[in-house]
Amino acid sequence: MQFETKIGKSTKETLSVYGYDLAEDLIGNITLADMLFLGVKHRKPTENESKMLNATLIAICEHGFTPSSLSSRLTYLGAPEAIQAAVAAGLLGAGTVYFGAMEYVAEMLQKAVQKQNQHQSIEELAAIVIQERKEQGLQLPGFGHHIHKPVDPRTPKLFAIAEELGFLDKHSQLLLEMHNQFCQQKGKQITLNVTGAIGAILSDMDIDYRLVKSFAVAARAVGLVGHIAEEIENGRDESVAQQLFEYVENHTDYKA
């Protein structure tokens, strides 16, 4: 039995990763985010790809107190010796509700662009996608935000960078046009949120939609370290998780 992989192997003298010599070619030459790219495209990103990727990951790795970061802190409270468990606990909620949207946007756009015929304008395609989802009773992922209305400040920033670096291509154009049409239909300005922007831009970077969410998960692992660091700094007496737990303990209404 042999187990095949393109990822890597260690020998006595070298570590190979995706065809590169880890020590000679990668350490010191690429950024952490580029390893994600290498992992899914099996080549080093260009300088522009690296910049674009880092920008999108920065946009989603940290949001302050969220269910994810609170879960991490609560886990740290009970198991401070196992930081990996606290990080893992914070990742486990990256399911359909918050993180899924990125993937659904990418899937929607990638499938639409794939079956676009050469005579269809982006306007026509956008109209078709909106209409089809309506008929299927599906929501439009990437639109709306409970705080950032009518503009999610990350969205225009990411699209501006995408334009500058050459990644504002078919998928992003389609999403932007869908946004226009959707706002017109609704008669008001609806937020094009950061998950929409990321799903579109990663699609324009040719990342398979099935891997889009995993990028967010990795970025989030980075963000969670900051929360654990703050719990360490605060110490037990000023621990947010401890205060949160005590608050709940003192405000529980038990009705069997």
Instruction: For the segment 77-136, give every residue that binds a second copy (CB under 8 A).
Output: 77-89, 91-99
Closest to 190 measured CA to CA, from 144, 233, 229: 144
Cβ proximity to a second copy: between 27 and 124 the closer is 27
Q: Which of 24, 123, 124, 163 binds a second copy (CB under 8 A)?
A: 24
The rounded distance, in Å, linking the Cα atoms of 199 and 176 is: 12
Q: Which of 46, 65, 166, 206 binds a second copy (CB under 8 A)?
A: 65
Q: Which of 151, 163, 186, 206 binds a second copy (CB under 8 A)?
A: 151
The rounded distance, in Å, linking the Cα atoms of 51 and 154 is: 15
Q: Which of 22, 122, 128, 130 binds a second copy (CB under 8 A)?
A: 22
Binding mask 25-44 for a second copy (x = CB under 8 A): -xxx-xxxx-xx-xxx-x--
**Smallest gap from residue 118 Cβ to a second copy (A):** 29
Q: Which of 157, 181, 183, 190 binds a second copy (CB under 8 A)?
A: 157
The size of the interface with a second copy (CB under 8 A), counted in residues, is: 123
CB atoms within 10 A of CB 138: 11
**Smallest gap from residue 48 Cβ to a second copy (A):** 12
The rounded distance, in Å, linking the Cα atoms of 148 and 189 is: 12
Residues numbered 187 to 206 that lie near a second copy (CB under 8 A) are none
Whether 99 contacts 154, CB under 8 Å: no
The rounded distance, in Å, linking the Cα atoms of 77 and 112 is: 46
Distances from the Cα of 144 to the Cα of 22, 60, 119, 167, 190, angstroms: 42, 16, 31, 23, 6
